[in-house]
Amino acid sequence: MKNSKNDRAVLSIRSVSKSFGGLKALNEASFDIMPNSITGLIGPNGAGKTTLFNVVTGFFKSDSGQVILDGKNVTNHTTHKLFTDGLIRTFQIPASFERMTVLDNLMAVPMSQTGENLIFALIGSDKIKNEEKNIYLKAREVLDFLEITHLSEKYASELSGGQKKLLELGKVMMTDPKVILLDEPGAGVNPSLMRKLSSFIKRLNKERGYTFCIIEHDMDLISSLCDPIIVMAEGSVLAMGDIEKIRANNLVKEAYLGTK
Ligand SMILES: Nc1ncnc2c1ncn2[C@@H]1O[C@H](COP(=O)(O)OP(=O)(O)OP(=O)(O)O)[C@@H](O)[C@H]1O
Ligand SMILES: [Mg+2]
């Protein structure tokens, strides 16, 4: 059943432009991401997809346009501020604490958000003890969900590449994000891990209402996960719709052929 809140975009990108010297990497790009969607973002190499993520998450400053998160104007906010507001980008953040265990890595996520917890911890307040217990329980639940409970006491440095990806997804789950941006989650991932990641993404969306926006070149992955799909070319949005609509769109075909 529809209600007015769910009709509102959780992330709205409005006429965002960004140039590098004379090159218009983003040219008035606009689209909405609806809550509980898995939105796909595709387009030929150099279309501006990663630049868009960089602008939206505060890595680059836009030249013009607006980014609205959950009704709030967050244009050019810092990466940290956007993170605490629930806009998370992953599989590009390299940092797990290599000398910490998987469990501790998960438990460190909310701590790094508030910064105040450490002070309370030193004072030893009951509030913080409860909070820590909740964080611990949540971390255990995340490990269970991702089927990596057996890795909880391993150091992050001991994990395989694939296990590190799962840990990163786990860290995202610790934050209760509003929108998760994934830039080419399939890059460098073997097919069996990709199936696993893909099924976790699907379940997080269906069972827990997580919202994703995924940049990917792998059309099998896009078509099995994403609706709607947004196509960018030369810094602008060229088309938008479900996979059938995108496949039938002549402008989209031309955009891909034009770069080959
Ligand atoms: N930091 C930068 N400095 C200068 N030019 C940049 C920078 N980042 C991106 N560009 C340029 O902006 C354009 C868009 O690049 P972007 O990385 O956003 O494309 P993309 O759609 O993510 O492509 P791909 O699918 O290959 O990852 C390209 O022409 C690229 O060379
Ligand atoms: Mg890119």
| pLDDT tens readout for residues 204-259 | 999 999 999 999 999 999 999 999 999 999 999 999 999 999 999 999 999 887 75
pTM: 0.89
C-alpha torsion sign, points 200, 206, 208, 214: positive
Q: Is the CB of 43 under 6 A from ligand 1?
A: yes
More confident residue, 7 or 137: 137
Pick from 20, 59, 181, 218 the residue to mutate for probing ligand 1's pocket: most ligand atoms within 8 Å of its CB. 20
* C-alpha span between 138 and 170 (Å, rounded): 10
Average pLDDT over residues 191-207: 93
Q: Is the CB of 46 under 6 A from ligand 1?
A: yes
pLDDT tops 60 at residue 111: no
Q: Where are the domains of the chain?
A: 1-86+177-260, 97-176
Q: What is the 3 state secondary structure string of 29-56?
A: EEEEECCCCEEEEECCCCCCHHHHHHHH
pLDDT tops 60 at residue 5: no
Going by CA atoms, what residue is nearest to atom 24 of ligand 1? 45
User: What's the chain's average pLDDT?
Assistant: 88
pLDDT of residue 128: 65
pLDDT band at 125 (very low <50, low <70, confident <90, very high): low
pLDDT tops 90 at residue 97: no
More confident residue, 160 or 243: 243
DSSP 227: B
Going by CA atoms, what residue is nearest to atom 7 of ligand 1? 20
pLDDT of residue 186: 83
Average pLDDT over residues 189-207: 92
Topology annotation, domain 1-86+177-260: Rossmann fold (3.40.50)
Of 15-19, 120-124, 166-170, 172-176, the range with the highest mean pLDDT is 15-19
Residue 60, by phi and psi: left (phi above 0), alpha (psi -120 to 50) or beta?
beta
**Residue reference for tokens 């786990």:** 170
pLDDT tops 60 at residue 3: no
Of 36-50, 156-170, 181-195, the range with the highest mean pLDDT is 36-50
pLDDT of residue 24: 97
pLDDT of residue 109: 83
pLDDT of residue 90: 81
SS3 state of residue 231: strand
pLDDT tops 90 at residue 66: yes
Of 72-76, 124-128, 133-137, the range with the highest mean pLDDT is 72-76
User: Which residues crowd ion ligand 2, with CB under 5 Å?
Assistant: 50
pLDDT band at 95 (very low <50, low <70, confident <90, very high): low
Q: How far is CA 228 from the centre of its chain?
A: 16
pLDDT tops 60 at residue 4: no
Name residue 230's beta-bridge partners.
Answer: 41, 240
Pick from 17, 18, 23 the residue to mutate for probing ligand 1's pocket: most ligand atoms within 8 Å of its CB. 23
Q: Is the CB of 55 under 6 A from ligand 1?
A: no
pLDDT of residue 114: 47
Structure tokens at 78: 């810092």
